[in-house]
């Protein structure tokens, strides 16, 4: 069990090592069991409660199913990673977002509505995506909202915070489902957001195999416009996942303090331009998929050469 110490956590997990990798973790969150052992165990414990070994077997069976299921789904996001996944031969699942509509009733996927949450959960349970990417709205948790809060109607503030927390809790409910069934999640929120201090988020971070790292969006070619024209967006971002391969791909910091790289200008994201910067650049999607591909291979769901290598091509030297 990790210690619930914020300073320790930041020092140990957010800062990358010298080679830009996440600190070594234990093996993936899935317990692997050899088939012979699996058969022996199931016979010996036919009428008893499932033990750890049998739970491992079930996790393996879940992984076998994934071969015929979806590889990635998105929550609180239009098709971004899913669209890129399709390009490299992976099977995308649903992308649930306010800007996307439920084909059954033409209504947006508004997760303030219980029925839409329930339905999305059912679809994810059915699709069993190998990776679920969650990007819940950050308005209630960002610094700009904090500085404007004294000028806003207190009731409105409470409503925005309540809604923001409920979206995070919904994500976490589904991340836990992913983990229970031997699959993966990736959670994105601004590094400075106070959502990282919510009890539900801290509890998930304490799970073994769950880590948080920092990635600066300028390293993924996120470009936005300010008064001086287009420029890279700095946008330090926190990523939490039970996939060390995916976190390794996202664990990249701005190079402006590195004398071996030419300095670059950061766009001013104040004055309502932050939403524009929320669009994922392709390089970011491909970095996530590169990590996903490694996770699929390390979990023996796919094999080297079985899917396209487009996501390998953009690597920086």
Q: How far is the CB of 284 from Zn ion (least distance, A)?
A: 14
Nearer to Zn ion, 218 or 301 (CB): 218
Q: How far is the CB of 161 from Zn ion (least distance, A)?
A: 31
Quick note: the x/- pattern for Zn ion over 252-291, rule CB under 5 A, is: --x-------------------------------------
The span of 26-34, 52-60, 167-175, 249-257 binding Zn ion (CB under 5 A) equals 249-257
* Number of residues counted as binding Zn ion (CB under 5 A): 2
Q: How far is the CB of 215 from Zn ion (least distance, A)?
A: 11
Q: How far is the CB of 263 from Zn ion (least distance, A)?
A: 8
Nearer to Zn ion, 258 or 315 (CB): 258
Nearer to Zn ion, 256 or 298 (CB): 256
Residues in 152-191 at the binding interface with Zn ion, rule: CB under 5 A: none
Side-chain-side CA neighbours of residue 51 (13 Å): 12
Residue written as tokens 């509505």?
113
Nearer to Zn ion, 195 or 224 (CB): 224
What interhelical angle do 114-127 and 154-180 show, nearest 10? 20
Q: How far is the CB of 239 from Zn ion (least distance, A)?
A: 17
Do strands 92-96 and 72-75 pair parallel, antiparallel, or not at all (unpaired)? Answer: parallel
Nearer to Zn ion, 66 or 232 (CB): 232
Nearer to Zn ion, 62 or 231 (CB): 231
Nearer to Zn ion, 12 or 265 (CB): 265
Q: How far is the CB of 189 from Zn ion (least distance, A)?
A: 19
The span of 18-26, 109-117, 140-148, 247-255 binding Zn ion (CB under 5 A) equals 247-255
Q: Are 71 and 127 in contact (CB under 8 A)?
A: no
Q: Does 218 bind Zn ion (CB under 5 A)?
A: yes
Long-range contacts of 144-147 (CB under 8 A, 24+ apart): 144/270, 144/274, 146/194
Q: How far is the CB of 222 from Zn ion (least distance, A)?
A: 10
Residue written as tokens 């836990």?
176
The span of 34-42, 55-63, 218-226, 267-275 binding Zn ion (CB under 5 A) equals 218-226
Q: How far is the CB of 279 from Zn ion (least distance, A)?
A: 17
Nearer to Zn ion, 132 or 218 (CB): 218
Contacts to Zn ion by CB under 5 A: 218, 254
């Amino acid at each position: 069990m990790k210690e619930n110490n914020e300073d320790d956590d930041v020092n140990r997990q957010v800062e990358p090592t010298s080679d830009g990798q996440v600190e070594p973790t234990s093996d993936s969150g899935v317990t692997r069991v050899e088939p012979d052992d699996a058969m022996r165990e199931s016979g010996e414990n036919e009428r008893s409660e499932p033990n750890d070994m049998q739970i491992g077997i079930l996790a393996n069976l879940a992984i076998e199913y994934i071969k015929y299921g979806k590889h990635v789904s998105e929550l609180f996001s239009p098709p971004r990673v899913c669209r890129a996944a399709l390009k490299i031969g992976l099977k995308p699942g649903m992308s649930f977002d306010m800007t996307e509509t439920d084909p059954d009733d033409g209504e947006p996927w508004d997760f303030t509505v219980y029925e839409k949450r329930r339905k999305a959960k059912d679809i994810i349970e059915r699709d069993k995506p190998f990776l679920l990417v969650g990007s819940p709205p950050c308005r209630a948790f960002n610094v700009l909202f904090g500085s404007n809060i004294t000028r806003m109607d207190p009731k409105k503030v409470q409503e925005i915070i309540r809604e923001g927390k409920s979206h995070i809790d919904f994500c976490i409910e589904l991340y836990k489902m992913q983990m229970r069934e031997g699959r993966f999640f990736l959670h994105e929120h601004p590094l400075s957001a106070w959502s990282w201090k919510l009890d539900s988020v801290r509890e998930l971070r304490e799970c073994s195999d769950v880590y948080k790292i920092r990635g600066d969006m300028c390293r993924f070619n996120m470009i936005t416009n300010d008064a001086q024209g287009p420029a890279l967006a700095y946008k330090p971002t926190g990523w939490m996942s039970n996939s060390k391969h995916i976190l390794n791909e996202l664990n990249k910091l701005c190079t402006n303090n590195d004398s071996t790289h030419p300095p670059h200008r950061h766009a001013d994201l104040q004055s309502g331009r932050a939403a524009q910067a929320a669009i994922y650049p392709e390089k970011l999607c491909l970095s996530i998929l590169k990590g996903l591909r490694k996770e699929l291979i390390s979990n023996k769901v796919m094999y080297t050469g079985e899917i396209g290598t487009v996501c390998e091509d953009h690597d920086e030297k």
